[in-house]
Amino acid sequence: MRQVIAGARIFDGAGFLDGRALVIGDGRIAAILPEAKAGAVTHRIGGILAPGFVDLQVNGGGGLMVDGGTDLAALRAICASHRDLGCAGILPTLITDRPEATAAVIAAGIEAARAGVPGFLGLHLEGPHLDPRRKGAHDAALIRPMQDDDLARLCGAARALPALMVTLAPESVSPQQVAALSGAGAIVSLGHSDCDLDAAGAAFAAGAACATHLFNAMSQLGHRSPGLVGAVLAGDAHAGLIADGIHVHPAAMRVALAARAEGLFLVTDCMAFAGTDAAEMRLGGRRILRRDGRLTLEDGTLAGADLSMDRAIATLVGQAGAAPERALAMATSIPADLIRAGDRLGRIAAGRAADLVRLDAALALRAIWRDGDFHNPRPASGRTAI
């Protein structure tokens, strides 16, 4: 069925195209044309039409966490819940756990890739090779240095999965291990680390390409000791940012945006709460509470984020002063390029799958197209949209 969508500003992954119409046929983008040349309009909308979001840090959704019990069905359900929130694809994320849990999630991920689960882009393994001094909500008892069998498991996963991101701390690995992971195709991301500038620089030089949730759970920027934050802001590595206004103050977001013209991208770091009205859940036997837009352990430690990608975009624009096109790129083309999926995700162009979102003037998600089919979105809280 041929569709012509007109009336919206089209964000193509880099900038806005105004006065254009999007033509969809057989589930793919057929053309972007001046509206006068596009033919009969089937959908006249307002707001912004953008590529589906790409989220590289998703701990769970739809009531399910990524954990040692995660199987193909669970990954399918988590991916589906985030597709209902506007994501074209995600990296389900396992936080620090036992070796057998890591092995089980990797096996499930390989099975999901082979099954072609919609929205499954690979895995993000956040730990266990971290620094307990910057553990955040991770279980310190499970944090440990990387051993040879860990390295072999991760390198094998990197070769078998569409994408593998591994968050680690330079304190728990060697530069040779970082180089081996990078050489196997893993995207090595530094995080949960108290390293100094030199140690961060050595890890980046060895092949690390990214930092996990910039500013959070890492050594901070000091004028004599720049830390991991300083290494990111003064360097060229990518870095994820949780733009909920809680994990990072808007003033710090503005500093990061000013320091780095490119390379920053948005993540939600969301938990099983996404797409539900649940008030609490458990993480490794510990209670996580959902209160006033925050997710915390009982002691008040932040434990992931109660965040959707459209709200992250709106926060970055409204509170941190980002240009809308930059915030949109941080949720689409930039993360897609980082995981080497930019040839099929994160952009609107002729020949690509018609995986699209419509945002209103307040940058709230209002409609989704998946392979050209229209869907109403599910609000992040699970409540009915207005």
Handedness of CA 22, 24, 29, 34 (dihedral sign): negative
DSSP 232-251: HHHS--EEEE--SSSSS-HH
User: What is the C-alpha separation between 217 and 220, in angstroms, rounded?
Assistant: 9
Burial call 251-271: b when 16+ CB within 10 Å, e when fewer: ebbebbbeebeebbbbbbbbb
Pairing of strands 3-6, 43-44: parallel
Instruction: Answer for the pair 227, 193: CB distance below 8 angstroms, yes or no.
Output: no
Strand partners of residue 89: 54
Pairing of strands 210-211, 187-190: parallel
User: Cis peptide before 128, with omega less than 30 degrees from 0?
Assistant: yes
Please, what is the Cα angle at 57 between 137 and 266, to 5 degrees? Answer: 110
- Is residue 343 annotated as a catalytic residue, yes or no? no
Q: One of 150, 269, 306, 310 is an active-site residue; which one?
A: 269
Handedness of CA 136, 132, 251, 315 (dihedral sign): negative
Assigned token pair, 280: 């609490």
Could you say which DSSP state residue 128 is in?
Answer: S
- 231 CB-near residues (< 8 Å, 6+ apart): 197, 200, 201, 204, 211, 237
Residue whose token pair is 């809280």: 381
Burial group, residue 342, by CB count within 10 angstroms (0-12, 13-18, 19+): middle
Instruction: Answer for the pair 89, 341: CB distance below 8 angstroms, yes or no.
Output: yes
Active site residues: 269
